[in-house]
């Protein structure tokens, strides 16, 4: 359980820009609470803000609903011109891409993944990360045509 004013750091000093990385989580935010997930590899950084009703990249809404549920994946991809993949951050809600090629945001943070909460509490049900840029695996993707590594 994360509460306002508390921080949780994962993958400290482990993220690098050259290979990309992925972070997947499931969380439930309390009423009026916002869970901020900040990723920083020393070169690029960005923050996904999660509340009961929306996902925002910094202050920019990516997805809005009445009750946010599902697995969230944030990926930093270095880009691939041949496959028309923009460099930047990608965000999925389950297997739905809701943010693509998102720019870094100016965030002061240590290398790694930092979770913090404002306005209440949030429950982190699961979290995992890898040193690869991986899209969620779905039955609709076929390896040769898909621009991302799947896991």
The predicted-structure confidence for 101-138, as pLDDT tens digits, reads as follows: 999 876 677 899 999 999 999 999 999 999 888 877 76
Question: Left, alpha or beta for 119 (phi > 0: left; psi -120 to 50: alpha)?
Answer: left
CA gyration radius, the chain: 15
Distance CA 40, CA 114 (A): 9
Residue 114 structure tokens: 């930092």
Average the pLDDT over 63-75 and give the result. 93
The rounded percent of the chain whose pLDDT value lies above 90 is: 60
Range in 27-36, 114-123, 136-145 with the lowest mean pLDDT = 136-145
Residue pair 38/56 in contact by the 8 Å Cβ criterion = no
Q: How far apart, in whole angstroms, are the C-alpha atoms of residue 151 and residue 143?
A: 11
**What does the pLDDT read at residue 119?**
93
- Interval 82-106 mean pLDDT: 89
Cβ atoms 21, 130 nearer than 8 A: yes
26: pLDDT confidence band, cut at 50, 70 and 90? very high
SS3 126: strand
């Amino acid at each position: 359980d994360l509460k306002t004013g508390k921080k949780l750091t994962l993958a400290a000093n482990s993220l690098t820009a050259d290979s990309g990385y992925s972070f997947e989580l499931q969380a439930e935010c309390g009423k009026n609470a916002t869970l901020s997930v900040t990723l920083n590899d020393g070169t690029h950084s960005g923050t996904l803000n999660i509340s009961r009703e929306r996902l925002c990249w910094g202050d920019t809404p990516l997805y809005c609903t009445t009750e946010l549920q599902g697995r969230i994946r944030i990926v930093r991809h270095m880009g691939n011109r041949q496959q028309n993949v923009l460099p930047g951050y990608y965000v999925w809600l389950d297997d739905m891409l809701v943010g693509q090629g998102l720019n870094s945001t100016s965030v002061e943070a240590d290398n790694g993944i930092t979770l913090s909460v404002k306005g209440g509490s949030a429950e982190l049900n699961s979290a995992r990360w890898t040193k690869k840029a991986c899209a969620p695996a779905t039955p609709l993707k076929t390896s040769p045509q898909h621009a991302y590594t799947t896991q």
